[in-house]
Structure 1
Amino acid sequence: MQAIVFANRTGNELAPLNQQYCPALLPVANKALVEYTLEDLASAGVTDVKLVICSDAKKIESQLGNGQQWGLKIDYFLSKPEEQVNSVLSRMSINKDTQALVVRGDMLRSPCLGRFIEFASLMPSKFVHAKMSQRNPAMMMLPAGWKHHELMNWPLETKEVNHADSVAQLLHGECFYLDSLAAYVEASEYVINSRDFCVKGRAIATNNTKQHLIVEAQCQLPDLSKTDVYGAIGEFTKVSPKASLTEGVVVGEYCFIEDSTIQNSIILPNSYVGPQLSVNNKIISQDLMIDPQTNSWTRIEDPSLIAKSVQEPTQYNTLVQRAGLLILYVLLSPLLLTLFLCACINKPRKPIVTDTVVSNDNQPIKVHKFNIASPSFALLPQLWSAAKGDLNLFGASTQFQSKINSSTPYGVYGPVQLNFDETTPIEEVQMVEIEFEQANKPQYLVNLLQQQMNKANTDIVIKG
């Protein structure tokens, strides 16, 4: 059986965590949220999965791969952010008689898909309307579910349906939408205390005999045998011998905690917690200190307090690229001068257009382009911004950055820069940017430029 898994939420309701994670990859007890659904599908005997994704598509595909680790075959399908289920299914060209499971993977539910599939298979002509803890667990079977696709759209709603052609199924367990920071903490607490879920690692001895502390490999921890602590600690994490962990604690992978007190808190991956801090009922994600109870947060600028725990991969290649772009900029200076003169002739009052945009370091910068028709030539002055490291050579368009919530780096060239203008519908821009994020960018743009040149050649008329 095929399963169609929707993981196309934007996560705006989880701000500021959406700056670092899309909901599908948000760690819950040190496991990406979507992995809980994939594990449930594998246990239910499903083998083929079509995963519907939008922003952070490249990260999702990199982390999940082809699904082999769960015994699944995962294919990816791009959608607009929070695109409605009916719209996505129609673009998939699914036969109306095809039997398939449709389920959301960007929320959390107790394992139940096996029971749901088994029950639905007993009455294939009936729509099985599932409920879990009086909530909509976001699952349906096709073809009976075609008329009820709105139950799968985000944000989820719990609606009653016409029971003339449906049957209700009450599923045991809990259901979490993770539609707020408080709901995220609640889901994490449930996972580390529930036997329904498998948390990665092994249990170690603590003073808490009722709840377990699950620890992954390659961790350096103090003696916790006399400590009343439970939760989960990710791999390659180091906790100082003088640090104190008490009550419910979840610490992600590659974290470093100095001589501080951590109580009832979540420390997300790659976070550093400095000495002499008392962290109680908080979420820490790199340089973000978040209070889920008041839904407030602060970005800490002092790296001795909290910060990203690991450095970025070596910057050697980046420096070489920037040096290469600088050399290219110098070599192109005669062409730049020629284009400037052409712009002065065609647009003498405004040969250069200047805009203020936000760089990849979130700093306002000035960018310039020639006021000429060809976008590929008009954007050449922005090679200087790429040489300085403010923009990438290839990336998302700066023109739409205020309208799109994307983690994709901004660049001088891309399909939007070469094809679209400010009148283009934002939905079309989003789809193209998502597709470009996953593509081999140089080859993608070479093909695009070749298409433009071929089109330009067909427009040339030779008069005799």
Structure 2
Amino acid sequence: MQAIVFANRNGNELTPLDQHYCPALLPVANKALVEYTLEDLASAGVTNVKMVISHDAIKIESQIGNGEQWGLNIDYFLSKPEEHVNSVLSRMSIDKTAQALVVRGDMLRSPCLARFIEFSRLMPSKFVHAKMAQRNPAMMMLPAGWKHNQLLNWPLETTEVDHTNSVAQVLHGECFYIDSLAAYVAASNYVINSQDFCVKGRTINTNQPQSCLVVEAQCQLPDLSETDVFGAIGEYTKVSSKAQLSQGIVVGEYCFIEDSQIQNSIILPNTYVGPQLSVENKIISQDLIIDPQTNSWSKVEDQSLIAKSTQEATNYNGIFQRAVLMFLYLLLSPLLISLFLGSLILKPKKPIVSETVINNEQQAVKAHKFNIDSPGFALLPQIWLVIKGDLNLFGASTKYQSKADDSTTYGVYGPVQLNFDESTPIEEVKMVEMEFEQSKKPLYLVNMLKKQFDKSNPAIEMKS
């Protein structure tokens, strides 16, 4: 049976955590939120999954992959942020008579999908309306659920359903929408205190008889056998021997905690916590200290207190690419001269078009192109910006300034640069650029360039 998993929330209600995570990838007890749904699907015997993604699409696909680790076969489908379920399903061209599970994967619920699927199969002609902890757990079976897909739109509707041709199923467990910082903390606390979920790692002995501390591989920890602490600690994390951990804590991967006191707090991945700090009932993510109780936060500039714990590795592939491009640029100099002369003949008053663009360091730089009709050739002078490290060879258009987060990069070539002009609707630009971000860019570019020379068929063909 196929499942369609919606993971297309933008996460604005989780500010400031949305600076670092989309809801689907937000770590809950050191596991991405969407992974809990994928585990539940696998336990229910589902094998094929279509995952609907939008915000941070590249990060989601990179982290989740093809689903092999769960025994799933995952394909991805791009949508607008928080696009309505009916709109997405209509573009999927799904057989309206086929049975399929539709479920949100950017929220947390106790494992229940096996029971829901089994119960729904007993009465295929009726719409099964699930309830968990008096909330809508955002799941339904097709084809009976086609007229009720609005119940999965974000934010989730909680209105009652007409039970004339439907059946209510009450599922045991807890359901968290993760629609606030307080809800995120509550979900994290539930996972580390509940037997419903499997937390990654091995259990180590502490002075907490009813709950346990689960630790992943390659951690360096002090002796915690006499400490009243429970929770989860991610891999490759180092905790100083003089640090004091107490009560419920979650520490993500690649963290470094100095001689500090951590109590009832969440330390998200790649975070450094300096010495002599007292952290209680807080969320710390890199340079952010967040108080979920007051819904307030502050950004810390002093890196001796808290900071990002890891540095970016040197991009040797990028350096090599730039060196190769420099060599090719020299080889192409006769072509560049010819193109300039041709542009000079056609447009003697303005053979070169100049504009100011934003580079990948968010700085304004000058870009030049030939004043000719073929974008593929017209943009060749901008390869110099790639050699300088200002732009990527393939990336989003600098013209539309659509950079959504740090994972998006500007480039010289892309579908927008090669096919669109000022009259193109901005929504279409955003959708194409999101799809381009997920694609194998060199192959995508080859397809775009072919279209430049195929004047008989100017339509854009999307390939990933």
Relative to the length of structure 2, the TM-score reads 0.90
Give the Cα separation in 1 of the matches to 2:276 and 2:323. 43
What secondary structure, in the 3-state scheme, does the structure 2 residue paired with 1:6 have?
A: strand
Give the Cα separation in 1 of the matches to 2:297 and 2:333. 47
Is the aligned partner of 1:224 residue 2:224?
A: yes
1:288 — aligned with what?
288
> Residues 187-266 of structure 1 correspond to what in structure 2 (within 5 A)?
187-266=187-266
2:89 — aligned with what?
89
Query: How far off is 1:252 after superposition?
Result: 0.9
1:415 — aligned with what?
415
What secondary structure, in the 3-state scheme, does the structure 1 residue paired with 2:145 have?
A: helix
Is the aligned partner of 1:177 residue 2:196?
A: no
Check whether the contact 2:396–2:402 (CA below 8 A) recurs between aligned residues: no
Query: How far off is 1:347 after superposition?
Result: 7.1
Structure 1 residues 263 and 148 mapped into 2: Cα distance closer, same or farther (>3 Å)? same
Query: How far off is 1:328 after superposition?
Result: 4.0
CA RMSD of aligned residues (A): 2.5
Structure 1 residues 394 and 302 mapped into 2: Cα distance closer, same or farther (>3 Å)? farther
Query: How far off is 1:341 after superposition?
Result: 6.0
1:377-422: CA deviation from partner (whole Å, max 9, x where unpaired): 3333332332222221111112233475673222111111111123
| AA matched with 1:309 | S
Give the Cα separation in 1 of the matches to 2:362 and 2:191. 35
Give the Cα separation in 1 of the matches to 2:330 and 2:294. 53
Check whether the contact 1:353–1:371 (CA below 8 A) recurs between aligned residues: no
Query: How far off is 1:67 after superposition?
Result: 2.1
Between 125-134 and 202-211, report the one with greater CA deviation.
Answer: 202-211
2:100 — aligned with what?
100
Give the Cα separation in 1 of the matches to 2:290 and 2:367. 35
What secondary structure, in the 3-state scheme, does the structure 2 residue paired with 1:264 have?
A: strand
Give the Cα separation in 1 of the matches to 2:332 and 2:16. 42
Q: Which runs of 5+ in 1 are unaligned?
A: 459-464
1:284-314: CA deviation from partner (whole Å, max 9, x where unpaired): 2233333333434444444333333233334
Structure 1 residues 245 and 363 mapped into 2: Cα distance closer, same or farther (>3 Å)? farther
Between 100-109 and 259-268, report the one with greater CA deviation.
Answer: 259-268
> Residues 370-385 of structure 1 correspond to what in structure 2 (within 5 A)?
370-385=370-385
What secondary structure, in the 3-state scheme, does the structure 2 residue paired with 1:45 have?
A: coil
Between 101-110 and 124-133, report the one with greater CA deviation.
Answer: 124-133
Query: How far off is 1:100 after superposition?
Result: 1.1
What secondary structure, in the 3-state scheme, does the structure 2 residue paired with 1:101 have?
A: strand
Q: Which runs of 5+ in 2 are unaligned?
A: 459-464
Give the Cα separation in 2 of the matches to 1:169 and 1:67. 29
1:153 — aligned with what?
153
What secondary structure, in the 3-state scheme, does the structure 2 residue paired with 1:168 have?
A: strand
Relative to the length of structure 1, the TM-score reads 0.90
Check whether the contact 1:29–1:188 (CA below 8 A) recurs between aligned residues: yes
Between 29-38 and 253-262, report the one with greater CA deviation.
Answer: 253-262
Is the aligned partner of 1:353 residue 2:374?
A: no
| AA matched with 1:49 | V
Structure 1 residues 355 and 182 mapped into 2: Cα distance closer, same or farther (>3 Å)? farther
What secondary structure, in the 3-state scheme, does the structure 1 residue paired with 2:444 have?
A: helix
Query: How far off is 1:348 after superposition?
Result: 2.9
Give the Cα separation in 2 of the matches to 1:332 and 1:289. 52
Between 124-133 and 312-321, report the one with greater CA deviation.
Answer: 312-321
| AA matched with 1:375 | P
Give the Cα separation in 2 of the matches to 1:429 and 1:447. 17
Give the Cα separation in 2 of the matches to 1:8 and 1:457. 33
2:131 — aligned with what?
131
Between 27-36 and 362-371, report the one with greater CA deviation.
Answer: 362-371
Identity of aligned residues (%): 75
Check whether the contact 2:356–2:364 (CA below 8 A) recurs between aligned residues: no
Structure 1 residues 457 and 160 mapped into 2: Cα distance closer, same or farther (>3 Å)? closer
2:33 — aligned with what?
33
Query: How far off is 1:343 after superposition?
Result: 5.5
